[in-house]
Structure 1
Amino acid sequence: MLRLPSGKAAVALHIAEEGLMPDEELEKVPGGYKPPGNIIPVCIARYYAPHSEFAKLRGLRVVRIATHPDLMGKGFGSKALNELCREARERGYDWVGAGFGGSRELLNFWVKNGFVPVHASPTRNMVSGEFSVVVVKPLTRRAKRIVERINREFKARLIDALADPYFNLEASVARLLLSNVIKRRRREPPRLTKSQWSRVTLYAIGTLTYEAASDAVKELLRTHFLSTGSARLELPPSAESLLVAKCLQGKPWSRAAAASGVEPSRVKAELRELVKELVRFYGEGAKEGR
């Protein structure tokens, strides 16, 4: 609990210890077994079986974080999380994580505090109406290595699934799930063929329509969202929301404009300019292609 000098409780945290799962329990997870008290490790073991070693690490799950109503939006929640992570690191924990309904405001709070998205449920929660999200902040070198690999796989899966199970996921939430949280510089190699490079370049300069190059744009966005650290082009939130809504979810122009806050009369020109930036940033030295 974080208190003010006056003694008033500013933030209260409900914490659960998770991890250190034995092999006999891990082996039963793919069959649907859900051991009590290990929500995040079981999630990782089920969806990312090659990285199930994560379940053997020792972590803390934030069950609930409550800030005094008069102190909302003043940084007390972030301060409490930072203190929790510091104490957890000192006590030998490998990670701190949380699971919650993925609203834009809540997800932004966790991502802003360095928590890495590793999972989003494929369907909306019937009660909250939101996609459930799991985030993890690694505290040790071993946990960091595993979480970075899981995050990359999660983002690759999400990129491919945005046009189907996540079609109705808010573009602003999808953008946050694809955030550049990992600070280690890693450039995802572009997978575009020579023909795709040609078409996406012609679209960027205005010779081809978007529809003639949409497949190439999607491949370019894969490189963008999977790159990390300084190897990823920094774009405004509204720009990435537009790219997600139109190019990855396949929304009509009008809905893509509404999802990103871009004027409908400007949305086509705006997207072309964004792709031009992406081609310039990721295309250098990569256009030899396949």
Structure 2
Amino acid sequence: MQHLWIKDIKENAKVEGNYLVKSKSVGQTRQGNPFLTLTLGDRTGTIEARVWDRVEEISTQFKEGNIVTITGQASTYRNQVQIQIHELKQNKSPVDPTIFQESTPKDITHMLSDLKKLANQIQNRHLRPLIDSFMADHHFVTQFKKAPAAKNFHHSYLGGLLEHTLSVSQMAVLVSEHYPDLDCDLLLSGAILHDIGKIEELIFDLNIEYSDKGRLLGHIVLGVMMVEEKLKSLKDFPSELALRLKHLILSHHGEFDFGSPKRPKFLEAFALHLIDDMDAK
């Protein structure tokens, strides 16, 4: 069944389909009868919906954040279209998350291929295996392709992290070509890895929310931890190089006020911060 987008629901339309429950509350009519008020959503917006019958029974079947299958009729109340729900049940079947969340307009496969091509330009015999270890990690790549780059501020949609990372990495190469004093391999490695902690900071199956790790540690610390974990399996990785790479991640927000534990201390760190800031804006 073709999904009826919320933006297309008009007065008197019959509404059938799956929607995300954004909010849920129980009220009472003047006669003391309970009714259920819902905010339903998909990627095109939200709409208010009401349940008038079997309220207590239906209310126990789902909670906020669930996908529900509804049958109802659209009507207008106080100049706003809302849905009068006749039937409702929680949908436990697999759903396409792009129905409920905005996703990048760019091709995921092509972007990942382009990022891997950039990674293949890294000549440093220590940095290249580190980057390759991430690109060969199936779980990492699966999450990295889907993740948003943020909850609200920039690239806050599915695939946004890959889109942002590719853009920052492309600019890192261009900046390195223009300023030959920069270590291109180090800057490009930092560009590829600077936001990897987002895959653990954010939960993005149906809504974009912060995980417990995200709230308590944040993506910068999580990213450094992910790099440290990969470094355990790489023999003879220079400690000074590891330190500089981790500093790139720790300082890429530039200022303490913007969440960086450290300010940039060397050229590649300054360059990464400026490139990241430009792409995020």
Give the TM-score band, short-chain normalised. Answer: under 0.3
Return the structure number with greater helix share: 1
Larger Rg: 2
Higher strand share goes to which structure? 2
After TM superposition, the score normalised by the length of structure 1 is 0.25
